[in-house]
Chain A
Amino acid sequence: MPSLKPLKRTEVPLWTAIILKGQGKCNIIAPAWLSYSYLKKMYDQEKKNPEMFSNLPWNWLELSKILITKAADDLADSSTQLCSIIKDLREIRQLKSKRGLRELNESNIQLNGLSLMELNELRPFVLLVMGKMRQLHDSVSTTDDKASDDESDHEW
């Protein structure tokens, strides 16, 4: 195991880092986005562009949660500060995704910008409603289809 030398930076999978951290064997270098100033910037962006989601990592909720609980001392800002800005971000994004749900239809929807955990929260609702709409839609013959298909392909 020559590559893990004291005081040298190296990359390992998160779970390994957490084990080592738990043993007091390493410090974790927090990702750049997990800081109050960066998240605040994202929050301001969210506010400025009501139609867009800011660019956050695919796993930002999961990662921030793990790092805040397991490696708070390695983060640049206090956990309270981070938790509160994360909560604000989540809320403003939830509002947006909720507005976006108005575009639901039986055919398809685009959900760019949402992260995995946020999708998971919406998933059961979206699947049931879309499934039901499709069943209704399919109950009449599909030839000479009009109105309903024009709704497809909404971006939000």
Chain B
Amino acid sequence: MISHNPSVSTQTIPQQNQHTKSKKNFNNCNIHKLLSKIHTHDFFPNIKITPVPHIFSSLGLITNFSPQYTMEIDDILQDFEQQARAPPIKRDADLNQQLVAAMLNERMAPELLPYKTELMDRVLTEIQQQQQLLLDSYEYGDSNAEAGVISSDFKLQLMIIETDIERIAYLLRLYIRTRLAKIDSFTIYYINESAGEGSSGGIALLSPAERLYMHKHFKILTQLYNTSFLGKLPSFLQLLDDTTGGETMIATPNLDQPVFIRVVCDEPIVLTMDGDDELTLTKNGIYVVRYRLIKLYVQIGDIVLI
């Protein structure tokens, strides 16, 4: 994972034009007012206050990539129109952090990890609520634009909410696409692995949508193979999952692949290496080890992949 620059396209939002226009207006706003403020800073002591209630981020955007920063704020957002607020949403500061961790683990693990059903449901619900808030706000902005009561700060706030949503959407996409890439590479293996899944409870490896994708993808792929070349081969060469002759055609994830890890639990973890040697992993330590050895620790969250 190199630096994290969300490059997602904007979510479809009605009144798109209206919105970009307002951003532009906003850019030139109040320059004089701001300049005049800057000089006065020195005369006032800075007062430290504790974390912002993220009205623009019910998802509590504190991520690995964006550590919290202390900052000095001008007069922004203070006259935010109360009416535009959505009903209070349950705040969950570490939801975003969980999403980042899930995405990183998924990206760095050679095999598919169990689908984070609960986390994904919560994140998707929150995104939907934020989207709704945006829509309502634009509507509000439209209806009041004529009267000239919309402040530039209101628009700034909307822009921040939108950026927030885009950042989350980027993480979600990365998470899903990484999973799909693995499903593509090891299709037959995961079809076998997930055979009993779905009907019974328990932790599922795949989401229902992923399972559907996997089966459809496999069907289309097999059809393509058959029409383009397999059909012309003798039938004993037409298999895609032959395991005779000591060589299996089914591609499987390589669990012996080394991975970069960081230990996050307090107690040291003792691994037994293949020569009966022991390796002790201590908190915050960074190691490169075989994935197979730490697989379970990743799933219970004592170790994160980096």
**In the complex they form, do A and B come into direct contact, defined as C-beta atoms under 8 angstroms apart?**
yes
A12 to B80, CA, bound (A): 18
Q: Which of A126-155 contact B (CB under 8 A)?
A: 126-127, 130-131, 134, 138, 142, 145, 148-150, 152-153
B260 within 8 A of A: yes
Q: Is the CB of B287 within 8 A of A8?
A: no
Q: Please determine whether A7 and B287 come into contact, CB atoms closer than 8 angstroms.
A: no
The interface size bin for chain B is: 35 or more
B73, B159, B256, B274: the one within 8 Å of A4 (CB): B73
B157 x A1 contact (CB < 8 A) = yes
In the complex, what residues of B have CB within 8 A of residue A145's CB? Answer: 274-275
Say yes or no: A142-B66 contact (C-beta < 8 A), given A7-B46, A108-B290.
no
**List of B residues within 8 angstroms of A88 by Cβ:** none
CB distance from B10 to the nearest CB of A (A): 15
Q: Does B227 contact A (CB under 8 A)?
A: no
Give Cα distance in the complex from A107 to B275, angstroms. 10
Chain B residues, Cβ within 8 Å of A62: 3, 65
Is the C-beta of B71 less than 8 angstroms from some C-beta in chain A? yes
Contact A153 B277 (CB under 8 A): yes
What CA separation (Å) do A5 and B64 show in the bound complex? 26
B237 contacts A by Cβ under 8 Å = no
The DSSP consensus for interface residues of chain B is loop
Main secondary structure of the interface of A (DSSP, over half): mixed
When the two chains form their complex, are residues A24 and B31 in contact, meaning their CB atoms are under 8 A apart? Answer: yes
B273 touches A3 (CB 8 A): no
Smallest CB-CB separation from A21: which chain B residue? B71
Shortest distance from the beta carbon of A135 to any chain B beta carbon, whole Å: 9
Tell me if B52 counts as interface (CB < 8 A to partner A). Answer: yes
- A residues in contact with B88, CB < 8 Å: none
Interface size on A, residues (CB 8 A): 59
Name B152-190 residues within 8 Å CB distance of A: 156-157, 159-160, 163, 167
Query: A7 to B72, Cβ gap below 8 A?
Result: yes
Cβ contact within 8 Å between A7 and B274: no
The stretch of B55-63, B123-131, B136-144, B206-214 in contact with A is B55-63
Question: Residues on B close to A: CB < 8 A?
Answer: 1-3, 26-27, 31, 34, 37, 41, 44, 46-53, 55-57, 61-78, 80, 156-157, 159-160, 163, 167, 256-258, 260, 273-275, 277, 279, 284-290, 306
| Given A25-B156, A62-B65, A108-B258: 11 more A-B contacts, CB < 8 Å | A1-B80, A4-B77, A13-B68, A16-B160, A20-B156, A23-B156, A24-B74, A25-B34, A62-B3, A126-B258, A134-B256
Q: List 24 A-B contacts (CB under 8 A).
A: A2-B78, A4-B77, A6-B73, A7-B46, A10-B52, A11-B51, A16-B160, A19-B163, A27-B71, A28-B69, A28-B70, A29-B71, A107-B289, A108-B290, A110-B286, A111-B286, A112-B286, A120-B1, A120-B2, A123-B260, A126-B288, A131-B257, A131-B258, A134-B256
